[in-house]
Structure 1
Amino acid sequence: MSMQGFIRSDGRKGIRNQVVVAYLVECAHHVAREIAWPNRDQAHVIGFPGCFPNEYAQKMMERLCTHPNVGAVLLVSLGCESFNRMQLEKIVRDSGRPVETLVIQKTGGTLSAIKRGQAFVMQAIADLADTPRVPLDLSDLIVGTVCGGSDGTSGISGNPATGRAFDRLVAAGATCIFEETGELIGCEDIMSSRAATPELSVELRASVEKAARYYAALGFGSFASGNADGGLSTIEEKSMGAYAKSGASPISGLIKPGDIPTKGGLYLMDVVPDGPVQFGFPNISDNAEIVEMMASGAHMTIFVTGRGSVVGSAISPVIKVAANPEMYDRLHEDMDINAGRIISGDADIDAVGNEIVAMVESVAAGQPTKSEQLGHQEFILTYKTFEPIGPACLPA
């Protein structure tokens, strides 16, 4: 398939050309939403609701506002929050993107800020029409995957098919990211045996052990009542299904949110915070993990669901893979791929894996996903803390 991307000053290529309207505290959320609304197909709202500063949130916003799918940025500040808006604006401007900071307390209030912000968005959209396009290959792509609303079918249809797709994408030079160390408990041995180096094997195992300690301190884990209602029995059973979406390729590295892989391969993302439990449940929803993979450069996310989910994402498209054939029949208007055909005997894992790869190519070429067509732009960013990865996490 012939694909073209939007070239950015750092050499990365985007598959979309969005204007980001970013609120820097919850007090500015409404104004940001109203600014984007008239042009919501191309203007996407993201933001950090907290007033107290957080290094993780700062890094995430910097990565997201300079994501290859982003062409211009409007920062919306109330004015008295502790977010370092000047640093964020400088990073965006240094990336070559048009950027403006709108401080509501200095602009005259809600209506005045909305009017000024909408003028910026309209001008940015007009200017972005001239963004240079260049050939795009699978090796230019970063693709993430999550599974949510899992049931007993997820681990035998949707996740294995996504794993086959990941194997094909990695072989073509793409960068693929799977996540949720809290849902890999019980898979430490088989996962670490796939590490590219002995040192990385140790790091992979340690990331899952950290997740187990974190959840033990919380008193609960990543196994919900909805999973049990869907036929799953234990976190180990859920973990095996979640692990299947990583495929069988060697694991090239371990990253944390906001770390951008420098070359193709398969990467595990550790989303469980470092240090003592401070901020509660680390994956408050699937959208939080989608946001973290976007911060690491994911152009799109493959979302496998058995019980059903209707969410999408700001900035980057979400491809929905239905694992359960009955759920697909009920929610087909939100699903892109019917992996439930594996269970009904109408397709095998390889066939659906190939269908997912074809969908990745189509979305990269500009085809909207179902969640994009429906206008889904969910976004969640909360407090976390992470230590930098060590040299063993990214083998040369």
Structure 2
Amino acid sequence: MQHHPIQGFLRADGRKGVRNVVLVAYLVECAHHVARRIVSAIDDPDVQLAGFPGCYPNSYAAQMMAAIATHPNVGGVLVISLGCEGFDRQTLAAQVAASGRPVETLVIQQTGGTRATIDAGREAVARLRAAAAQAPRVPMAVSELVVGTICGGSDGTSGITANPAVGRCFDMLVAEGATCIFEETGELIGCEQVMAARAVTPELGDEIEACVAKAARYYATLGYGSFAPGNADGGLTTQEEKSLGAYSKSGASPISGLIRPGERTGGPGLYLMDVVPDGEVRFGFPNISDNAEIVEMIASGCHLILFTTGRGSVVGSAVSPVIKVCANPETYARLAEDMDVDAGRILHGKATLDEVGTEIFDQVVAVAAGAQTRSEALGHQEFILTYKQFEPSGPGCLPLAHRAGALT
């Protein structure tokens, strides 16, 4: 199989990025405006905004911000602090510095307010961009890619076209030695036994069944599941039908592990991400938007994301490119400028699942090699991070990693 040559950005830990972003990271909503103005003033697609709006500390948010700020696609970080928030800015900056990336911190209360911090931020970003540009470019194999997938705005066509086509792409990537991550347990209720049967060990199968049961309890407590009004309007009839459609994104490869957001996988293969918080229900709906799930997969190392949609979604993401695969031919006709792949051709007999799966695979490699996605070209850089709580994964969740003795 012929591939586009990929030249990755080599990082100090040996990982390679497919982008070289300078991240402007705010640590509380009170610093959001200043950080956004810095990014807007520079107006460069490789200078991007991310942040945590909350004021009181949360270990999940801290781990997620550290994972995002040291992602292979990130070449440097400017930390924007108000000065009195609960987030530990010194620790975050130290984590970025320890990763070998350039980092600077501005504290609004110390710098002189809005205008002074924006001016100082523009100067800091110029220095960070110059430093990030020194990252060496090295050959990168398809086997080194980490690819995630989510579905959003699903309809009756999603489980027939786009989702199983992504599953075919995932099987091709796994066969090449790449790492693939699918989610979310709240939309896989009813599929737990089928997934458990695909687990590489019985212990992992038990963990998969337990995490889906946790999701079912969580949603039952909330009194609201993941089945949205738009799903029904789009022709989906039950939660089970939606779950089966979402499940088909995973393909047919063995499931190598179960990870929580921000955890990295134990090696190549297919992984399920558990996005439902542990413990009692305390933080509300597990993911308040599709972008929350995108951020969680990026925090676990995804170089890019495959986003399937039937009703239509126009979002992208900061840090990692998003490839949108449209399930419905009518939606594609209306929103073609926002879509990368027209999987709805399958419904009209103009392409097979295997052909569209191969097209998605080719898009993955092309984007990794530097081609822009539609969302990148349109300037989409959405980012959202909220409060959650997770316990570290146990040995049954990552059997291959623990057998090897460490996470990659």
TM range (shorter): over 0.9
Alignment of 1:87-102 (within 5 A): 87-102=91-106
TM superposition score normalised by structure 1: 0.99
**Secondary structure in 2 aligned to 1:344?**
coil
Match status 1:33 vs 2:33: no
Return 5+ residue gaps in structure 2 as ranges.
Answer: 401-408
Match status 1:58 vs 2:66: no
Alignment of 1:1-396 (within 5 A): 1-37=4-40, 38-396=42-400
How big is the shift at 1:129?
2.3
Tell me the distance in 1 between the aligned counterparts of 2:260 and 2:130. Answer: 36
Amino acid at match of 2:339: M
Instruction: Please provide the CA RMSD for this pair.
Output: 0.6
**Secondary structure in 1 aligned to 2:159?**
helix
* Higher mean displacement: 30-39 or 238-247: 30-39
How big is the shift at 1:389?
0.5
Tell me the distance in 1 between the aligned counterparts of 2:60 and 2:85. Answer: 16
TM superposition score normalised by structure 2: 0.96
Q: What is the CA deviation profile of residues 69-95 of structure 1, one whole-angstrom value per residue up to 9, with x for unaligned ones?
A: 000000000000010111101000011
Tell me the distance in 1 between the aligned counterparts of 2:257 and 2:391. Answer: 16
* Higher mean displacement: 128-137 or 158-167: 128-137
Tell me the distance in 2 between the aligned counterparts of 1:117 and 1:68. Answer: 23
Q: 2:8, 2:18 within 8 Å by CA — same for their partners in 1?
A: yes
Amino acid at match of 1:28: A
Q: 2:310, 2:331 within 8 Å by CA — same for their partners in 1?
A: yes
Return 5+ residue gaps in structure 1 as ranges.
Answer: none
How big is the shift at 1:123?
2.0
**Secondary structure in 2 aligned to 1:204?**
helix
Tell me the distance in 2 between the aligned counterparts of 1:129 and 1:58. Answer: 27
Tell me the distance in 2 between the aligned counterparts of 1:68 and 1:242. Answer: 28
Tell me the distance in 2 between the aligned counterparts of 1:230 and 1:6. Answer: 41
Tell me the distance in 2 between the aligned counterparts of 1:219 and 1:2. Answer: 49
Tell me the distance in 2 between the aligned counterparts of 1:137 and 1:304. Answer: 25
Tell me the distance in 2 between the aligned counterparts of 1:287 and 1:154. Answer: 18
Q: What is the CA deviation profile of residues 244-263 of structure 1, one whole-angstrom value per residue up to 9, with x for unaligned ones?
A: 00000000000000101131
Q: What is the CA deviation profile of residues 179-231 of structure 1, one whole-angstrom value per residue up to 9, with x for unaligned ones?
A: 11000011111111000000000001111110000000000100000000000
Amino acid at match of 2:185: T
* Length, aligned pairs only: 396
**Secondary structure in 2 aligned to 1:146?**
strand
Equivalent residue number for residue 406 of structure 2: none
Tell me the distance in 1 between the aligned counterparts of 2:389 and 2:129. Answer: 35
Identity of aligned residues (%): 67
How big is the shift at 1:131?
1.5
Q: What is the CA deviation profile of residues 120-162 of structure 1, one whole-angstrom value per residue up to 9, with x for unaligned ones?
A: 1112222322210010111111000000000000000000000
